[in-house]
Amino acid sequence: MDHKECIAEYTKRPLMILTSSDIGTDPSFIELNLTKHFKTATSWGAVLLIDEADVFMERRGSADLVRNSLVAGFLRALEFYEGILFLTTNRVGAFDDAFISRVHIKLYYPDFGDTERQKVWNTFVKKLSRERENYMRVTIDAKEYIESKQLREIPWNGREIRNAFQTAVSLAEYENKKDSEGNIMLTEEHLKSVVELSKDFKNYLDKLHLADESKRALARKERLDTYVS
C-alpha cells in the first residue's frame, strides 16, 4: 500500500485515479474536463490522484503555444480545487515554476537501498501466498534467491520489481509444474530467468546511451537521484 492509498484509508475516503487519457491533452477542453473530474471527486469526498502528471506540468516556453495553453488550462483548474490531490512525476526538473507555489506539500522519494528492495520483493511473495494460497507456492529456493545479496543489489525501483515478479508468476503458470498438493511452483529458475533478461536489456540501454537512467535524467535536468536531504 502506497502513501495515497494509506491517506485514503486513514481519512476513510475513496481513492479516485486519473491519467492523461482521462483528462485529454486538447488545450481547448482540458480545463473543462478537469473541472468535471474535480467536481466528481468533491461530490465523492475522494482523494484524487493524477498519475504521471508530467504532460500537464511541463515548463512553458515561447516556441510551443499548444504546450503553453495546456499548462495554463491545468493551472486555472487547479487553482479552484480544494480537495486532496496527488500529482506524481519522476521529472520534477521539467516542472513549470508556477506549480511550485500551488503545490502545498512536496514529497521526495529517494532511490531504494538494498533493505527497501528486499522488503518490496518479500511484500510480493507474501501477497502471492495470501491471495493464491491453494493455487501457487513459492519454493524455498525462490525465497532464498529473493533474500540473496545478488538480487538485493540490483538497483531496481518498485515498479521494476513488481513487473519482474509478475512475469515470473506468469512463467510459472505457463510451465504449470505442480507440487504433491497440486499447487503450481514458483521457483528460483523462474525468477532468475526474468531477472537476467531484464538486467540484460537495461544494461544494453545504459551502454547505448553511455549512461544509466539516473545520469540520463540528470543530463536532461529532470531529476537528481543522488540527492540526500
Q: Where are the domains of the chain?
A: 3-99, 114-216
CA distances to 39, 57, 74, 104, 204 from 79, in Å: 13, 14, 9, 12, 44
Nearest alpha carbon to residue 172 among 203, 141, 151: 141
Instruction: Quote the DSSP letter at residue 75.
Output: H
pLDDT at 37: 95
Give the domain 3-99 fold.
Rossmann fold (3.40.50)
pLDDT at 1: 57
Q: Estimate to the nearest angstrom the gap between the alpha carbon of 92 and the chain centroid.
A: 14
180 in helix, strand or coil? coil
Pairing assessment for the beta strands 47-50 and 136-138 based on DSSP bridges: unpaired
Nearest alpha carbon to residue 149 among 177, 102, 113, 124: 113
Q: Estimate to the nearest angstrom the gap between the alpha carbon of 88 and the chain centroid.
A: 8
Give residues with Cβ within 8 angstroms of 155, minimum separation 6: 111, 112, 117
CB of 223 closer than 8 Å to CB of 94: no
Report how far residue 138's alpha carbon sits from residue 190's, in angstroms, rounded to the nearest whole number: 10
- What is the value of pTM for the model shown? 0.73
Q: What is the pLDDT along the chain (229 residues), one digit of tens a residue?
A: 567 778 888 889 999 999 888 998 888 899 999 999 999 999 999 999 998 888 888 888 877 788 889 889 999 988 889 999 999 888 888 888 888 888 888 888 888 888 999 999 999 999 999 998 889 999 999 999 999 988 988 889 888 999 999 999 999 999 999 998 899 999 999 999 999 999 899 889 889 988 888 898 888 888 888 887 7
